[in-house]
Chains A and B, each alone.
Chain A
Amino acid sequence: EDQVTQSPEALRLQEGESSSLNCSYTVSGLRGLFWYRQDPGKGPEFLFTLYSAGEEKEKERLKATLTKKESFLHITAPKPEDSATYLCAVQAGGGFKTIFGAGTRLFVKA
């Protein structure tokens, strides 16, 4: 069964304290792995798409990486405005279905 697991469930950081969020997946035929940011009371907002192992993408303080079994979202010198829930999702096999992880809630304290 296709599965996406995110860890930790919650992460509390001080401003400037770099860390990583993990997304491990078990799917057949990965077509794409996505990272989204979700603020309280809002819909998810797209961050990155990764297609193959070894691929990396960056945006401001965020960097996403992909291996054959997992993806990491690295946050460098986070700021309070980076506080949000980060969702990982995969598309696999054929068709239009996307499987989402439960998310990691990130809290960054000034």
Chain B
Amino acid sequence: NAGVTQTPKFQVLKTGQSMTLQCAQDMNHNSMYWYRQDPGMGLRLIYYSASEGTTDKGEVPNGYNVSRLNKREFSLRLESAAPSQTSVYFCASTAREETQYFGPGTRLLVL
């Protein structure tokens, strides 16, 4: 049981480049989430997917898009990266609206 996995672990982008962060879970969870974590701030929700086939905006969705590819996978795309998107990104999943299980994170630096 790998839990929640994320790729890549670390990425450096130039302003304007695009990339997709991948997330997969093997716990058969219905709900999946994308957060960003910045120094001195709590985890902030970018997007979430309550179930396969649905996605909704969170607190800070601007500049991001998501795809719930199937029950296991939930990807986050940056179409045109900006320095303000430098952050650590965490994916999480949960069986219901309860305890969230987090991946190890992707550290993104946008120059």
| Cβ contact within 8 Å between A34 and B99 | yes
A103 to chain B: which residues have CB within 8 Å?
42
| Cβ contact within 8 Å between B45 and A97 | yes
Q: Indicate if B50 sits at the interface (CB-CB under 8 A).
A: yes
Q: A88-110 CB contact bits vs B (8 Å, 1 = yes)?
A: 01010001111111110000000
Say yes or no: A46-B45 contact (C-beta < 8 A), given A96-B31, A97-B58, A102-B40: no
Q: Indicate if A42 sits at the interface (CB-CB under 8 A).
A: yes
Say yes or no: A4-B103 contact (C-beta < 8 A), given A96-B48, A97-B48: no
| Cβ contact within 8 Å between A101 and B42 | yes
Which of B43, B56, B92 lies at the interface centre, i.e. has the most chain A CB atoms within 10 A of its CB? B43
| Cβ contact within 8 Å between B40 and A98 | no
Interface size class of B (residues with CB under 8 A): 20 to 34
Q: Which of B9-52 contact A (CB under 8 A)?
A: 31, 33, 35, 40-45, 48, 50
Say yes or no: A4-B99 contact (C-beta < 8 A), given A42-B105, A43-B105: no
| Cβ contact within 8 Å between B41 and A102 | yes
A31–B100 CA distance with the chains assembled, in angstroms: 14
| Cβ contact within 8 Å between B104 and A43 | yes
B102 to chain A: which residues have CB within 8 Å?
36, 43-45
| Cβ contact within 8 Å between A43 and B99 | no
A residues whose Cβ falls under 8 Å from a Cβ of B: 4, 31-32, 34, 36, 41-46, 49, 87, 89, 91, 95-103
